[in-house]
Structures are given as C-alpha cells and as structure tokens.
Structure 1
Amino acid sequence: MKRTTFAAALGVLAPLFVPANALLRFGCAKSSVQRLDPLVNNGQNPSPHLHQIIGGNSFNVSMDIASHDLVKESTCTSCQFTEDFSNYWTAVLFFKAKNGTYKRVPQRAQSGMEGTQGGMVVYYMSDALFDTAQKSTVTAFKPGFRMLVGNVNYNNREQARDFRQLTYICMQNEGTRAPESLTFPKQPCPSGIMINHRFPTCWDGKNVDSPNHQDHVSYPETGTFESGGKCPDTHPVRLPQLLLETVWDTKTFNNKADWPADGSQPFVWSSGDATGYATHADYLFGWKDDSLQKHLDGHTYVTAPTLKTQSIAQQNKCSVQDMVKEDIDSWLSKLPGDIVA
C-alpha cells in the first residue's frame, strides 16, 4: 500500500451522522469471536490473537482464493443484505483492571439496529459523505478480492502515518461523531468507544490480493477519498470507500477507581496493544454476482431496491462454529493467546 501523508488527511474528516440516502449503510450481527485470521494466518488454528467476525458463515481456518468461494460455501450471512457473504473482522477490545486481569468488552448495536447481537456497521460509498447525490462512478471489488488495513505491530504515531483515518471516538451520546483521535480515549466515554476503520480506495486494477494484503491498494495521492483526491497512476481504479464502525460498550468500565493507579487509560486490543496505533481490520469480498456493482451504479441509497434484506432475528441466527474452543469471557489473567499487555 502506498505510503502517504497522514496528517493532511485528519483535517478533512467528515461527520458520519448523515442522511440515509448519502451512502449504503447497513448493520451486521456478530457471527463469531474467536482466535482465527484466515487472511494473515491462513490455515493456523489458533491465530495469535482474538478477532470479532461478521458476514458469511463460510468463515473458516483456511480461506484460500483458489478454493474458497464465500458465496457458494455460505448458507447465510449476519449482514442486513442477503447478497453480502463477505467477511469483515477486527481485533477485540479488552478492559485491563487495576489488578492486572482482563475482561472482554462487548460490542453494541447502533441506533436503529437495536437487537443486533454485537457486530458492526458497514458503509460503502461512491462520493464524499457530505455529497448526498453520490454521482461518482466506482468499481466494485472483484471475486477473490481481499485486503488488510492497519498493522498489528505499530505502537506510535510515526508508524501510523502509513494509514489514514483509523480513528477512535469517545461517544458522549448516540449521535457523537467527533472529535476523532488516533489513540484510545484517555477519559471514560458515557456511550462507549466507536472505532472506525476506513480502507484504501485505489486499486491497481490487476491483483485481488498481494503478499502483505496491502500493496495492491493505495490511498489517493493527496487528501482522502472524501476530499476527492486523485488515485495514483500505479493504482488508477477507484474503489468504493469501505468503512467499518464498531461501538464497544465500555460503560461498565467507566468507574475510574478501577482504572490503573497511574491514571492511564485501561483498554487494550486483543493483540496486547494499549496505545491504539495497532488497530487493524480485514476484508474478504463476497457479494453475490454483480449485486454490489448494480447498486453502486444505480446510486439509489434510500431504499436499495436492487438488494434484498433480512430481519435482525435472521441476522442473529447466522453464526460460525467455535473452532478454537477457549474461554474468552471470564476475567482472564492473560489475553487469549497468553498475551500480556
């Protein structure tokens, strides 16, 4: 993935609370929380750290491009649109208590999606968030497409400049969408912590993957997707902006008496990172046929007439079997994978 200036991007972040007709926005229930990562650690059971996964139920230990067809092998999806058998996943948030033990932080549904078990909100857009017309043409991801944003080993701002708009929001209420920060909030958040993963939006037009799952995609030459930045000549194909929002329900852990004695913030990623700079997300494309491209071409974001929906109850029923079988919900002396933050 092309290295770009991160600081310039921060000044053009647009609020995410916009009219429903500005973009394709939908909820996905949690399908699984377990220590698997078939993109970075394909075939490894268990993977080094814990992930929360949404989407098609064909998610598995191994998911090779040549042999794993998400559409054909999935029998359901935990997402609102039944044509979307893609898989999306991120690391998991934990609270580290003053005594050094860890507790998994639950995910919660956003307003209008109440009843969805955990999960995330997914966005696909063809224009800036504030442009409700959505007139631009973008090319939908191709079968087998996959990518990774972020780096699990990063722990400082200089490293994080490789990526744009991987941010945290300390929610004061359900509508809070600003300010965005690059690190974990340092104070209790009344309505939880929202974490945003915005993926690169320029593609080389040839490769659906690359060895590091990043080099086949790039950010615009300057600015961000929302600011209309031009794609570099090496990656000329303009992709939809894919954004994942996860709200971690941190309210139970807002008593500062339980926070570290030195006053530092108490949350850590399942990878062991307490800075927030190691935030990352993975994507395996799995939309049926050309359903996503048809929708993007139609620019009909109010009713999405070309897409079929399912109820939240149906979304919640779609799950992936636990293939690791370890305790992730008790108070733990170490993070899953014997990780100590």
Structure 2
Amino acid sequence: MKRRSRGLSALLVGGALASTLIGVGSITAVADPPSAGVPAPVAHSGHTMAVSTAPSGDDPDGDGYIPANPPVTGVTPSDREPAPRYFHEFQANCSVTHTAPDDPIVYPGQPGKSHDHTFMGNTSTDAQSTEASLIGGDTTCKAPGDASAYWMPSLFQGDRKVLPTGPQTIYYKAGVTDYTSVRPFPKGLRFVVGSPMQSAQEFRAHPGWVEGWECGDSFKNIDFPQNCPTGSQLNIRMQAPSCWDGRYLDTPGHQSHMAYPVVKAGTNDNVCPASHPVALPMIEFKMAFPVDGDMSQVHLASGRGYSFHYDFFNAWDEPTLKALVEHCVVGGLQCDARGYDQTHPEAGAALGTDYRLP
C-alpha cells in the first residue's frame, strides 16, 4: 500500500534568486490524497491539472501517486549561506524531435487525448512513455546521457505550426541560496510547470515567471506582442519549482510534490519549505520560436500566450547528471552542456568533448 501524508491546503511560494527570477510568488493549491466517497476532481479538457484515473505503466493502480523508491527522508531545508557565486548552473541543449497530441504525464496510455505538444530530448516520447522506456533512449540533447523528455504546447501562426529550430536552452540552476545543497533529480521524477487553464493575471503572478513573451525591444508581455521586428524571434523563459517532498515522483495534478523556494523570514535568502525540503536543480526553459512580423494570428495549441506551460520527465543517466550537478551547480560555475565554464577554464569540464563522462 502506498503511504500518503496529507498535503498542505495551500503552500505559499515566494521569490527566487534575484538574479534569475523577476516574478513574485503566488499561492499554489496542494492536492490531498482522495478520500473514500469523495469524487475525484474533474479533468480539464486538453491538458494539465488532471487527475489520473486509469492504470498506466508507472502507476498500476491509477491513483496518480507514484512513490519514490526509496523515499528521501530526514532532510532539513538548508539555510546555510555559502560563499556567494553569481552563477551555479549548466545547460541542457536539446532540439525538437516531433509533435503529437500526447502527454505521458497527464494522459498516460491515452494517445491523442491532449492538445498538440512539441517534444524535445528523448526521441521516443509518446503517450505510452514510462521511466523504463525513456531511460537509455536516443536523444537530441547534446549530452547523450540526457534521455529526459521535455515538452510544451505547440505554437501556431494561423494554421502553420512553428517549431523552434536548433538546440534550445534548458538551464539547470540553483533555486536556493545554499547552492551546495542541490542534489540531482531522482530517477523518474516528473512534473508540470504552469497550467493551460491559468488566466493572464495568474501567468504574470506565477513564481516561475521571468520576463514573459519577448521579441526585439518588447519584454514582459503576458500575451504575444502585437508585432515583432523582422528578423527577430519570439522568446519565452519560465522557471520550474525546485523543492521536492522526497516522497513522490508524481502526484494527482502533477505539481503538489514540487514547490518553489520561499524567502526565509528576516532575510533575503531562498530556502526550500519544510513541506518540500529536498533542493533539486531549478529548470528554466528558454525557448526561441522563428516567427516575426504581425503576431495577430499567433497562438498556442493550449490557447492564448498566457496558457504557456511545460512538462519534464527525468530520464538522465544518473552518473552523468550527478557529475554536472556537482561540478557546475554545487561548484558555483556557469557551465555549457559539457559542464565547462569559459570564465573558469582551470576548473575543467564535467564531460568530455563528446559530451559523455570521461
């Protein structure tokens, strides 16, 4: 039987590193396990926040809870202040693989159930994907050890699908002040960032907000700009929660097992909340779409620009991810996909020139 603890009815989520997060916190509902006789939440048509109601490869009883094995216990959120380092990050540069109306997190085992998504990283990702099917798979990420699946709603200009070209930038950062406390993702962790059902105001107040939609000299747009200069690109950046409860790889709604760092009272320090004490890398999507000019016909498969959200399913090779996290995040470096910081060549690289462990 799966052991379940009641979640908080609401979790205050606040600021993150001033150098990386501009948005201010909001309140995120945390799902409690379903009680006998209480109807399960109704799934939204099209995507996220749905509650799994059918068995799937990683969730055989279909209750939406996928326990970590083993769970991480006995962790206290770190409020230590190590020597300041402006950067503590590395990149995962991953190209688009394909598009499909699938979502193996929200609608596992149900092909065609979701709105259209643009997938990056693992080339096999589809509605049937599981931890076992992804790990060790082929990938378009520069580091062959990153077989993770990354996806977001597809972008259209009228009826034409517009795909990001070339490797996209996915940062792995420290979201807490004590960057030395960050540990690698557990195998099989998955979550959704944002929601296609969010309002414009909710998108702007989301703790993962960075600068909204931007092109040319236009920044902090909640929806798509009306016009983008010829030759420019449409860009979006959004950060993910980086504090884990240590118990579940997924939960109904696909968010309550994760939380954003909070500001410690009386300080400017960012720490994980006690309910989610395990500090993990903070993923930041930095996507660039090759579209310019009149933007009046630009929309997402999920709706308006403020419906932007994305999904992450961890399938990293564990030694490779550990090497990058320890060298770049814990080591306070600004690394590329090899784990190399050009401003600190004396530190060397975590990976070889083939982006593999030496």
What is the TM-score normalised by the length of structure 2?
0.65
Q: Is the 8 A contact 2:111 2:128 kept in 1?
A: no
Instruction: Compute the displacement of 1:183 (Å).
Output: 2.4
Q: Matched residues in 2 for 1:309 and 1:278: separation?
A: 39
- Match of residue 149 from structure 1: 193
Instruction: Map 1:39-58; keep pairs closer than 5 Å.
Output: 39-58=105-124
Instruction: Map 1:1-341; keep pairs closer than 5 Å.
Output: 3-4=11-12, 13=20, 23-65=89-131, 68-72=132-136, 74=137, 76-96=138-158, 102-108=159-165, 116=166, 119-126=167-174, 136-158=180-202, 161-165=205-209, 167-172=211-216, 179-190=219-230, 191-222=232-263, 228-251=269-292, 254=293, 256=294, 265-271=296-302, 273-274=303-304, 276-298=305-327, 299=331, 301=335, 304=339, 305-308=349-352, 310=354
The secondary structure found in structure 1 opposite 2:325 is helix
Instruction: Compute the displacement of 1:150 (Å).
Output: 0.9
Q: Is the 8 A contact 1:28 1:54 kept in 2?
A: yes
- Match of residue 50 from structure 2: none
Q: Is the 8 A contact 2:17 2:270 kept in 1?
A: no
Q: Is the 8 A contact 2:300 2:308 kept in 1?
A: yes
Distance 1:182 1:308, change over 3 A: farther
Instruction: Compute the displacement of 1:61 (Å).
Output: 2.1
Q: Matched residues in 2 for 1:159 and 1:21: separation?
A: 26
What is the TM-score normalised by the length of structure 1?
0.68
Q: Matched residues in 2 for 1:53 and 1:61: separation?
A: 12
Distance 1:165 1:270, change over 3 A: same
The count of aligned residue pairs is: 266
Instruction: Compute the displacement of 1:186 (Å).
Output: 2.9
The secondary structure found in structure 2 opposite 1:59 is coil
- Match of residue 39 from structure 2: none
Instruction: Compute the displacement of 1:201 (Å).
Output: 1.1
Specify the code of the residue in structure 1 equivalent to 2:134: L
Q: Is the 8 A contact 1:80 1:309 kept in 2?
A: no
Instruction: Compute the displacement of 1:158 (Å).
Output: 3.8
Q: Is the 8 A contact 2:203 2:209 kept in 1?
A: no
Instruction: Compute the displacement of 1:84 (Å).
Output: 0.5
Instruction: Compute the displacement of 1:245 (Å).
Output: 1.3
Over the residues paired in the alignment, what is the CA RMSD in angstroms? 3.2
The secondary structure found in structure 2 opposite 1:168 is strand
Distance 1:141 1:186, change over 3 A: same
Quote the sequence identity (%).
24
Distance 1:106 1:289, change over 3 A: closer
The secondary structure found in structure 1 opposite 2:323 is helix
Q: Is the 8 A contact 1:166 1:279 kept in 2?
A: no
Identify, as 1 or 2, the structure richer in strand. Answer: 2
Which structure has more relative contact order (CA 8 Å, sep 6+)? It is: 1
Unaligned runs of 5+ in 2: 1-7, 23-85, 340-348
